[in-house]
Each structure stands twice: as structure tokens, then as C-alpha cells.
Structure 1
């Protein structure tokens, strides 16, 4: 995967651009660099990257504004970097489409791990796309459901809590990030109960997690989109000023 993968690094600090670029190239990636969003778009016009590492704090057009301008079909995944590292910036970045968010200064090895995780996730998501009429068919990934493990079933959906898999009614694997899966499992294991954000964090990540409650809102929003059904059934209900409730009946089989 790495040898054919192009990473675009966008940062106004030349030293950081060189550091990240050199490290990624030593690990088999092809890199391009840009000092600001305008240069980023010029680079992208010549060759589309597979992933963008985008700094938040830049003079002129900042990274969050640049991220909004990228939100079109086929946009490469984006990992945000920020020297501020505030919850608000992180939440906004995730809400408007960033795949991940790291505070600066970051360990290049951690950034490398995040990049590989995001790219693997995008590959799985691409493999599960079902084409509309007139489109070239792509593979729909299915797996033996559960492989003998007990499943949590709600309607025609199945959650394999031990196998870390969610299966759609047609048997296709629904791609979830690790955080999304943990929140999904917490909701499904406590159906028809209102769970506060703190409870979701506790169930999903443990009490010692370094978390912020608005991140749960972002994950729930993404889970809802992936659970969307033609009949518009609301599987996750927002309870104002309280939290979230999983509304479906759940059977363990």
C-alpha cells in the first residue's frame, strides 16, 4: 500500500514540512508539500494525493477553512495537525470531515500509524460501496457472520461485539472506526436506556480515557449515517440535555 501512496503535507512551517516528508518517504510513501492552502490546491490540480496532512494554524486562510473547501465527492482523507490542540478546533475539524486530528508537536511514528489506519479504513469503505444504475460495479465485502460467536441482533442488522464487526441486512460489513465501533457497542448493549455522554465514554473507552464529550456527538452522527435505512427508522435517538438512546429491541443469539 505504502509504495503507491501519495501524501500531501500542508504546513506554513518549512521545518515541519521537511521533517514529516522525510520521515514518510523513509517509510515508503511518496510526498508532496505546500506552504498554504493556495499552494495545496495548485499541487492537487497536478496530481491528486491519497491523503492530506493539514495544519490548522496558518496565516491567511487557515486549515479549517481549507478543509471546508475540500468537502466534495472524491476528496482525499484529511488528518489535521494543530499546535493549539483545543477541543473546539478538534470538534470542528471532525464535524466538517477530518478523518483524524493530532496535536503538535506530534511524534512522527504516531502520525505514520494514524495515516496507515485512515488509509486502511478508506480501502474498506471503498470496497463496500454498492453502485447506482449506470455505474461500474465494485466489490461488496461480506464475511461469515459471527463465525460461531454470539451476535447482538436488532432488526436485520447484526453486531459481532467480539469480532468488532457490524453487518448490514444484506450481510455486508459496515466500516466503522475503532471509536465508532466502541460507541455503537455501548449503545446496542444498553438498548432503550438513555446513556449520557459520560456513560458512553465510560462504556466505550474506560474511565481513564482522555476524552471530551462533544467527540461522542460526532461519532454518533457518523454512526447514524451508516445505519440509515430506506424507511427512515431512527435507531439512535437524541434525548435533549441527557444523551442518546438506542431505540431498537436487541436479541443476543
Structure 2
């Protein structure tokens, strides 16, 4: 299934909520609409697929525990064909499930019971980051490193063979932050501040999982990475020379 992902900041953002609990769905939909967003709620994977065939969405709020195909499977399937931001919503509160959700491509993870304002803040943050980097005023020109090209405006990563590489919102933001600070040791807290990538769980574990996923996409040898070096007791450092295109 091809997932249509709108990223036009000048339009009202449209949110798809996949949640089978009617009370929670009604509460979230009301909150989204009160904040000026368009919102559609469905209760299963099949209904989600049908909704996405009819219209495009800017973000998906996805419950992990659904009848039939569960949220983790849906997340993996969505991420295979789209960079649409995904917020996992679940009653499972342990660290392993948070990490699994991120590893499958979720951009953020909210545990039930949750405060509506917290969920709204995370949704707004992801929408800002997905809007062609509009909230990143510095270094908007494309950059090149070791044959790769990253474009902050179009939010595209192109490998040395000229092929577009699919990335989640958080993965792209982390790589962009590293490219904007080559040769500098970036702590996990700094990366969190620049990208909000640690919202889904503990700062250290969330950043580390995203870094691992970025390495899988750009490093020749993930076990001995040459682009993103781990600095013991420090954080991470981006080693290639970065130049503006």
C-alpha cells in the first residue's frame, strides 16, 4: 500500500488516529480538533488502510494493541512505504516495548494513561519537524559528505549512487544535526534538544536506538562505523567532511 504523506505547512494538518477504545478515540479526536487540526478515527488496520486510500494524512497516532493486526505490525508496514510521522499509543509501559516501537520506525511513544496536553505537544513537535524543516533556520542549503547528499528543505537523503534513502523523521533530524556539527562531540542531551528524538523514552536509550538505525542506512560496516563514532562518556561525533552543495 502506498501511503500518501502531506508535508505542506500552510495547510491544516490532518491526523489519523488508529484506536479501538471508543472513549480514548473520542477524547483524542476532540482534543485534536480543539487545537485546529483535522482528525479521523478508525479502529482497525483494515479501516486504516481504507482511510488512507481515500485521503492523505500528515501524522498517524497508532495504538499498539488492536484487534487483528497489531500496532507494531502496522508500524513496520507503514514505515516500509512512507516517512509519515508515527506516534505509538499503548498501555504497555515497559522499556522493551518502547524500544521495539522505535526500532520498527515509530517517531514517538506515549504510554497510557497519558495527559492530553502531553500527547498534543508531541504531535505538534512532530508536525513541525516534518514540515520541510521550517523550524530549522540554519544551514538550509543541501550538504554533501562522502558522496552522500542531505537536503534540509526537501528532507531527502541521497546515497552516492543517487538513490533516495527512506528515513523516519527522527532519523533524518539526528543525521541532519550531526551533519550541521561535523567533528564535534554531540551529547545525547544535545541531540535531544536539537531533534526531540528522545521523547519516546529515556534520553539515552532512545537516541542510541535512532543512531543505530541511521548507521544501518549510511555505514558500510555497522559493527565498525566510520561516519558516526561513539565517544565514550561523551556521545557521538560525525567524522566525514561536510560541505555545502
Normalising by the smaller structure, the TM-score range is: 0.5 to 0.7
Taking structure 1 as the reference length, the TM-score comes to: 0.62
Structure 2's unaligned 5+ residue stretches are 1-8, 156-168, 194-198
Q: 2:143 maps to what in 1? A: 168
State how 1:130-169 maps to structure 2 within 5 Å. Answer: 168-169=143-144
Q: Does 2:87 align with 1:79?
A: yes
2:223 matches 1:234: no
Aligned residues between the structures: 203
1:101 offset after TM fit, Å?
A: 0.9
- Give the aligned partner of residue 195 of structure 1: none
Alpha-carbon deviation of 1:9? 0.8
Compared CA separation, residues 187 and 42, structure 1 to 2 (3 A): same
Asked which structure has the greater CA Rg, the reply is: 1
Q: What is the alpha-carbon distance in structure 2 between the residues aligned to residue 186 and residue 144 of structure 1? A: 11
1:72 to partner: Cα distance: 3.5
Secondary structure, aligned partner of 1:22: helix
Per-residue deviation at 1:219?
A: 2.4
What's the offset of the Cα at 1:235? Answer: 1.6
- Written as runs of structure 1 = structure 2, the 5 A alignment for 1:19-168 is 19-125=27-133, 168=143
State the Cα deviation string for residues 83-106 of structure 1 (Å, max 9, x = none). 112211111111121111111111
Q: CA RMSD in A?
A: 4.4
Structure 1: runs of 5 or more not aligned = 128-140, 146-164, 192-199
Which residue among 210, 219, 224 is the counterpart of 2:210? 219
Whole-angstrom distance in 1 between the partners of 2:207 and 2:138: 30
The higher relative CO (CA closer than 8 Å, separation ≥ 6) is in: 2
